Amino acid sequence: MGSKDNVNGEHDTIIDNDVNIDNNNNNNKESNEINNSEKEDNIETNETNEVNKNKEDTVIESNKNTQDEGSLGDVEGNIKPMIDYGKIKGSQDVEIPQLLIDQVIGHEDAIETIKKAAKQRRNVLLIGEPGVGKSMLAKGMAEMLPPEVLQDILVYPNPEDTNNPIIRLVPSGEGKKILKSSKSTVSNYDEWKTIIILFLMVGAVLVGFYFKRFWETAIIILLLFLVAALTKLPRNASVGPKLLVNNADKRFAPFIDATGAHAGALLGDVRHDPYQSGGLGTPAHERVEPGMIHKSNKGVLYIDEIGTMNMKTQQELLSAMQEKHYSITGQSETSSGAMVRSQPVPCDFVLVASGNIQVLEGMHIAMRSRIRGYGYEVFMKDYMEDTKENREKLVQFVAQEVKNDGRIPHFSSSALDEIIMEAKRRSGKKDALTLRLRELGGLIRAAGDFAKEQGADLVTAEHVVESKKFSRTLEQQIADRSIIQRKEYSVYNPKGGKIGIVNGLAVIGDRSGLISPIAAEAAPAQSTHEGKIIATGKLGEIARESVQNVSALIKKHTGTDISHYDIHVQFLQTYDGVEGDSASVSIAAAVISAIEEIPIDQTVALTGSLSVRGDVMPIGGATAKIEAAAEAGIKKVIIPRSNLKDVMIEKKYEEQIEIIPVDSLSEVLDNILVGGSRKNNLVKKMKAIGTAVAEKVPNTSIKGNIPNKSN
Ligand SMILES: Nc1ncnc2c1ncn2[C@@H]1O[C@H](COP(=O)(O)OP(=O)(O)OP(=O)(O)O)[C@@H](O)[C@H]1O
């Protein structure tokens, strides 16, 4: 991009790269090589210079902007730390708060709500992107619930009805003691029984020998043996309770993650016992298994993606929440466990449900209403403001991640700077830092692993930068490969000018840019009434819409009625899932180029969403798109002006690509079409579209162009 050069006044203006194509050759639809000659039609010279001067202003401004926000260095090249580290040399010097809730970064409002909910034992629904800290908040909430109210739950045999085991609650820690004493009672009884029988057997042998009555002695011994064996069998009456929930020695209220749990694990179950008939099997109470709702009694039950849980289970969960106790029974109807139903087991938990916004669709309507009525709903942020305090919090986050991982070295201040910078880039916004911290944690671990591999004691900025290369997401890897493939098969070629072909830009996944060439062809309509827009593939709808949007503008300002044409639009080698709205400006440019037979500069790539008025509206993923264009060898990239503040390209791309922010379609055409008077005539006419926008944004290149009323 040459940002520093430009700031220092040594900017390469786009005049240098501007190209002229002989107007007389414009009827020829074949590719035209761009030449760097200064041949301009005299009539157009003054205006072109004006346009180019304005372009310079615009480019300088854009580069300044990315310089300010996207670089660690200042204009002189001095490295400016992201925060004032003071005495802190690295993450090893950063204090980590004791409580988990204080380790959660960037969700002040959500933390406030969680604290309130913990105090009043309210349910909470957390909605947000993956990896922003939802389960961390839920765990933090459990730490805030009072542990002194915890109870142990025991299940006893019911002598009156063996299929209805008895439930008993005792203060936490008592359960273990009861179990121990009942076990020792049983074992003492067994020991005494064995000693007495042995004693009787020895006595019988001695008496038998003394009186020489061997047959009688043998029979007595056999009988004693039988008695011993039979008294072992019916254990039911003598065995003690089973400890269902043990909260002994717990410092905090339980946090149970029931994400993806099936009904048995969630609600409790009674195990099947094939030998239970005839009283020979395991007693019913010993087969009772607690559910997560019981284990989380007096604590937090956390369920991520609650909408994926089946409705029946959600309904049961709801009744457990309402009643605060739930009897345990066998979940499988065909199992002997289904005959058993325990007395109600307490399950007084606080529910923290979470997921992304789609999760609401699968959520039981009464469950949502219950949370709303007896709790709070929180929409989590995925970025926080880029302030000094928040940067410091990110440093704390790095220290936490290093400590939690336990296998990587600490981060030096330069590495911390690099992480803050990456958080900025990943937010996709100028004044923001990402809160998708699980993924940022991935980069921290990758950089740590790399530093360790290199035998370093501290992670440095270089380690972070290097590790970004091998910790690329799948989408980034797909995008990289597609760039190579497309280059190999000449799907696009960043050279010269071509009629009807434009280098569009798209995003796959979260933040991976992709060159998406679009081809348009215009032929006189076959139908006598009206031309057709023929667009293929998944993005056909967007193509049609885009051409329709632009048709009124073209007719009004160029006099060309596109309904006299059949227009074909094709996305060359486009992947499924490429988001398409940002292609609308590109499609419009390709169609205008095809109709007007003016070539498009292939060294330029383009992104933007087009309004019916011809305004270029903001799009997502500006940074990723610009970086993809630079990777693909593109020299200039046109983006909506309103996206300029979001641009934070990596330093290595800054020298490679020039960013041209625009407001209107006419500016797009001005920057992307090549040619002399033909192009200039068209742009001049199209300028009329942008006038309204120019009034709003005075520093655009539209200055001085008056709408041509004659058109
Ligand atoms: N706001 C945050 N503050 C501190 N650490 C965070 C934050 N968000 C995420 N992390 C880190 O990322 C890890 C994963 O976060 P967590 O499991 O809470 O995300 P989540 O929103 O529940 O994700 P998912 O919906 O995919 O389960 C945490 O253990 C922590 O290391």
In tens, the pLDDT along 388-420 reads 999 999 999 999 999 999 999 999 999 999 999
Q: Report if residue 220 sits inside a domain.
A: no
Dist. CA 102–CA 105, nearest whole Å: 8
Residues 638 and 668 in one domain: yes
Phi/psi of residue 169, nearest 5 degrees: -105, 135
Q: Report if residue 177 sits inside a domain.
A: no
Ligand 1 atom nearest to CA at 139: 18
Residues 571 and 675 in one domain: yes
Q: Classify the C-alpha dihedral 302-305-310-314 as positive or negative.
A: positive
582 assigned to active site: yes
Res 277: pLDDT: 54
Q: pLDDT band at residue 529, thresholds of 50, 70 and 90?
A: low
Q: How far is the CA of 387 from the centre of ligand 1 (A)?
A: 21
Q: Report if residue 499 sits inside a domain.
A: yes
* Burial class, 168, CB count within 10 angstroms (exposed 0-12 / middle 13-18 / buried 19+): middle
Dist. CA 622–CA 362, nearest whole Å: 33
Res 25: pLDDT: 37
- Return the best residue to mutate from 357, 438, 510 for the ligand 1 pocket (most ligand atoms within 8 A of CB): 438
Dist. CA 326–CA 292, nearest whole Å: 11
Report for 444-448, 519-523, 590-594, 696-700: range of highest mean pLDDT: 444-448
Phi/psi of residue 565, nearest 5 degrees: -120, 150
Report for 37-41, 230-234, 325-329: range of highest mean pLDDT: 325-329
Assess whether pLDDT exceeds 70 at residue 49. Answer: no
Assess whether pLDDT exceeds 50 at residue 186. Answer: yes
Q: Which of 350, 377, 404 is the last residue of a domain?
A: 377
Tell me, what amino acid is at 476? Q
Q: Report if residue 224 sits inside a domain.
A: no
Q: How far is the CA of 394 from the centre of ligand 1 (A)?
A: 13
Residues 571 and 454 in one domain: no
Ligand 1 atom nearest to CA at 128: 21
Q: How far is the CA of 405 from the centre of ligand 1 (A)?
A: 14
Residues 591 and 527 in one domain: yes
Strand ranges in 296-438 using DSSP code E only, listed in sequence order? 300-304, 325-326, 345-346, 350-355, 375-379, 383-385, 410-411, 432-434
How many Cα atoms sit within 13 Å of 323 on the Cβ side?
Answer: 15
Which residue has the least CA distance to atom 30 on ligand 1?
Answer: 438
Dist. CA 628–CA 636, nearest whole Å: 12
Q: pLDDT band at residue 162, thresholds of 50, 70 and 90?
A: confident
Residues with C-beta less than 6 Å from any ligand 1 atom: 103-107, 130-136, 304, 354, 397, 401, 435, 437-438, 441
Residues 671 and 555 in one domain: yes
Residue 698's SS3 state is coil
Say which range, 50-64, 178-192, 206-220, 557-571, has the weakest mean pLDDT: 50-64
Ligand 1 atom nearest to CA at 126: 21
Which residue has the least CA distance to atom 12 on ligand 1?
Answer: 438
Ligand 1 atom nearest to CA at 380: 21
Residues 399 and 505 in one domain: no
Which residue has the least CA distance to atom 26 on ligand 1?
Answer: 130
Q: How far is the CA of 72 from the centre of ligand 1 (A)?
A: 27
Q: How far is the CA of 135 from the centre of ligand 1 (A)?
A: 6
Residues 389 and 370 in one domain: no
Q: pLDDT band at residue 332, thresholds of 50, 70 and 90?
A: confident
Instruction: Tell me which residue has tokens 């909260």.
Output: 247
Q: Report if residue 234 sits inside a domain.
A: no
Which residue has the least CA distance to atom 23 on ligand 1?
Answer: 131
Ligand 1 atom nearest to CA at 104: 3
Residues 580 and 617 in one domain: yes
Helices then strands (H, E): number in the chain? 23, 27
Q: Which domain holds residue 356?
A: 134-171+250-377
Assess whether pLDDT exceeds 70 at residue 3. Answer: no
CA 575 from chain center: how many Å? Answer: 21
Q: How far is the CA of 677 from the centre of ligand 1 (A)?
A: 58
Res 661: pLDDT: 94
Residues 557 and 645 in one domain: yes
Residues 319 and 453 in one domain: no
Res 303: pLDDT: 96
Q: Report if residue 227 sits inside a domain.
A: no
Residues 30 and 97 in one domain: no
* Burial class, 145, CB count within 10 angstroms (exposed 0-12 / middle 13-18 / buried 19+): buried
Ligand 1 atom nearest to CA at 259: 27
Within 8 A by CB and 6+ apart from 681, the residues are none
Assess whether pLDDT exceeds 70 at residue 237. Answer: no
Dist. CA 394–CA 386, nearest whole Å: 10
> What element of type H or E holds 421?
helix 413-427
Res 46: pLDDT: 42
Say which range, 273-287, 598-612, 687-701, has the weakest mean pLDDT: 687-701
Res 30: pLDDT: 38
CB 152 within 8 A of CB 216: no
Q: Which of 446, 470, 494 is the last residue of a domain?
A: 470
Q: pLDDT band at residue 53, thresholds of 50, 70 and 90?
A: very low
Q: Render pLDDT for 273-329 as a digit per residue (tens, 0 to 9).
A: 766 555 556 788 889 999 999 999 999 999 999 888 889 999 999 999 999 999 999
Q: How far is the CA of 349 from the centre of ligand 1 (A)?
A: 22
Assess whether pLDDT exceeds 60 at residue 258. Answer: yes
Question: Which CATH number covers residue 346?
Answer: 3.40.50.300
CB 500 within 8 A of CB 35: no
Res 33: pLDDT: 38
Ligand 1 atom nearest to CA at 356: 25
Instruction: Please give the average per-residue pLDDT across 246-270, as a whole number.
Output: 91
Q: Which residues is 124 bridged to in the sheet?
A: 352, 376
Which residue has the least CA distance to atom 17 on ligand 1?
Answer: 135
Instruction: Please give the average per-residue pLDDT across 326-355, as a whole number.
Output: 90
Q: Report if residue 369 sits inside a domain.
A: yes
Phi/psi of residue 619, nearest 5 degrees: -130, 175
- Return the best residue to mutate from 359, 433, 437, 440 for the ligand 1 pocket (most ligand atoms within 8 A of CB): 437
Residues of 452-477 as b/e, b for ≥16 C-beta within 10 angstroms?
A: eeeeeebbbbbbbbbbbeebeeebbe
Res 352: pLDDT: 96
Q: How far is the CA of 376 from the centre of ligand 1 (A)?
A: 20
Longest dimension (CA), the chain: 144
- Return the best residue to mutate from 101, 114, 134, 136 for the ligand 1 pocket (most ligand atoms within 8 A of CB): 136
Within 8 A by CB and 6+ apart from 355, the residues are 127, 304, 305, 306, 307
Q: Render pLDDT for 536-583 as a digit per residue (tens, 0 to 9).
A: 666 667 667 777 777 777 777 667 777 788 888 887 766 554 555 677
Which residue has the least CA distance to atom 11 on ligand 1?
Answer: 438
Residue 290's SS3 state is coil
Which residue has the least CA distance to atom 7 on ligand 1?
Answer: 133
Which residue has the least CA distance to atom 8 on ligand 1?
Answer: 133
625 assigned to active site: yes
Res 102: pLDDT: 95
Strand 658-662 versus strand 636-640 pairing type: parallel
Ligand 1 atom nearest to CA at 103: 4
Dist. CA 286–CA 166, nearest whole Å: 11
Set 3, 135, 412, 582: catalytic member: 582
Q: Report if residue 76 sits inside a domain.
A: no
Beta strands across the sheet bearing 166-171: 166-171, 151-156, 242-245
Q: pLDDT band at residue 711, thresholds of 50, 70 and 90?
A: very low
Q: Look at the chain and report how many structural domains it folds into.
A: 3
Q: How far is the CA of 21 from the centre of ligand 1 (A)?
A: 56
Which residue has the least CA distance to atom 29 on ligand 1?
Answer: 136
Question: Which CATH number covers residue 634?
Answer: 3.30.230.10
Q: Which of 470, 487, 518 is the last residue of a domain?
A: 470
- Return the best residue to mutate from 96, 132, 426 for the ligand 1 pocket (most ligand atoms within 8 A of CB): 132
Dihedral angle over CA of 114, 116, 122, 126, nearest 10? -30
Q: How far is the CA of 131 from the centre of ligand 1 (A)?
A: 4
Q: How far is the CA of 304 from the centre of ligand 1 (A)?
A: 12
Res 447: pLDDT: 95
Question: Which CATH number covers residue 421?
Answer: 1.10.8.60
Cα–Cα nearest to 35, from 17, 15, 13:
17
Which residue has the least CA distance to atom 16 on ligand 1?
Answer: 133
Dist. CA 488–CA 494, nearest whole Å: 12
Residues 646 and 525 in one domain: yes
Instruction: Please give the average per-residue pLDDT across 22-27, as a whole number.
Output: 37
Ligand 1 atom nearest to CA at 107: 1
Set 139, 381, 424, 625: catalytic member: 625
